Structure 1
Amino acid sequence: MPVSVVVGGQFGSEGKGKVALEIVRRNFGPTTVVRVGGPNSGHTAYDKAGRRWALRQMPAACVDRNVDVVFPPGSYLDVDVLLEEISALDYPTDRIIVSPWAQVVTDAHRRWEQEAGLVSSIGSTGSGTGAAVMAAIARDAPTFPLKTLHAEHHGLLAPFVRCGDTGELLADRLGSGQRIVVEGSQGFGLSLLDGGYWPKATSRSTTAAAALAEAGLAPRWVDDVTMVLRSYPIRVAGVSGPLPKETTWEEVARRADLALDIREYTTVTGKLRRVGEFDALLVRRALAANAPNNLVLNHLDYVGPAGGIGDPNSVVSQFIRRVEAAIGRRIDWYGFSALDIMAGREQATS
């Protein structure tokens, strides 16, 4: 069955949005994109006109405005952010479908995270997503201060709540041959259950299996799990958690002989990201948890130019070989820019 799941193999910001968009563009039939997670992470992609979009609610895979977008029960919606992005994209509202059971992030959720000190203690974005997760788990317990608000009870979402069960809707589309692309968020190292860095973690599991559960899709429908990596993993600034072999943006630029400023800032908070060396141990654990059939390595422009792929002795080719040897797995696709990806050696020659 035609379901693609896109997940991150490090600490997020691996370029999942660009890859999900590429999967949509390579699919010649009708496509539906499912966005799981909440507004606590940003996905970036460039539309066909070359305009850059950094989105927190709408999936990056929708920027060409040619797919249906589904927010399933396992999505967490900041309504103001969602409506702003729909307006900015000028997205056809009849192509957006929200589950009545999707969770709404409220002012109370955001306020609780701020007052709980999560922003300063674990580097949380303070978006309220984690508090919304807690409220859902508490199930309106009288002793718990946070309550859940479902999409069906938020008036501004009424135009998008047009079906009773988005899982059944997606199953019907699969039956008619449509491809479903599930755009996961964040990365394996941030996963609440299995990332290994608790409590410096996000509020959800971030594996392919978890994304499917949030989307309301059965595992047997999946024919593609694509895991996305970056040459130098990042974490957000401050006390966000360990980053093995942490280095500096200046050192990364020096190695690649880059004169430009390559420092990165987070989409949600605008803080300078921390950067580290490629961590094979983390990636091997992510491979075991996700079993991807496609592996993408982005940000190779931080290593060397794309032209080096044709030279086995180039710094880029040597870096890729070291990565493949360390993780015990070939790289299927390479990314040298924010705009596209290119086939790896085996893909190009097969």
Structure 2
Amino acid sequence: MAVVGGGVIGLSIAWRAAQTGWQVTLFDPAPGSGASSVAGGMLAPLSEGWPGEEATLELGAASLARWPEFADRIAAVTGRSVFTAKGSLSVAIDAADAADLHTVAEWVGAQGYHLEVLSRAQVREAEPSLSRSVRLGLSAPSELAVDNRALLDAVRSAAVDAGVEIVERAVADLDELVADQIVLAAGDRTATLWPGLPVRAVKGEILRLRSRPGTEPPPSRVVRARVHGRPVYLVPRGDGIVVGATQYESGRDTQVTVAGVRDLLADAQTLLPSIGEYELAECGAGLRPMSPDNLPLIGRLSERVVVASGHGRNGILLVPITVDAILALLDGTTLVEVKCADPERFNHDAGAKQ
């Protein structure tokens, strides 16, 4: 079996497939260096819910429920824990944002999931370092966050230990591979290997801030908000905070812009005034593989090829359910929870390879 793509999705599939008995070769010119390496690591399907996006919510929630077992598997093999936070807190700065949080709470609650609306005082009690301008909060206690780079290191180590051969070169054409089964997990490059699949690159910038002596500790939870209409999130790490993320339709550009850094820092400081005392340790940009409806493409393309791509902003969140779905396909079955991600929904008809 061949896996094309060495991001967190490809590495995780390769590892688990090898554990179940497949002989796996993974191809990527620079494993772990793509969008997965600059992710925030939020596992937040509930707080990102919005009326009309039932499929996105259900898929994300199903994967979130699988994360503890998936993390336990990693820990059993590598001895590493990848979690950095439990719980997330979405906050409102103005009245319009507060109304949106009430909408999310009501809709997500109607779908059977628990979110708790917090008053200004309750937000301050939960996260004292947040700005006094925060007027309302929405707590999702079941949501989590992981250290994306620790996760990448762990699944790569686990894959190698399980016998996966990693070949550090690009694949230009799937026809050059001799494997019986091919998993196409090439992120934003997926469409170049299977023309007709609607996966495009969307640029996202993030910042990594490092604590310094005397700085206020980061929030204990993931904190999310909209500031001047721009989404921003703060994700705690052992040594500081990840701040994200911008979103640009800019082709394959991965350069970090002054405007992007400026907006992220300004919006983050609106939420957490003490953030100006942190060290600006890193600015990075990655290319998220996006689909037209913001759902991934997980399914069989031919008797020989299955795809696991188009995860967009939810690549880390959707790792466990994507792995389970691909293992099921390789075993000749399907996972009902990922029906919404079937690539056939786009009726692609170009370049079908056998």
Q: TM-score, normalised by structure 1?
A: 0.25
Of Structure 1 and Structure 2, the greater strand share is in 2
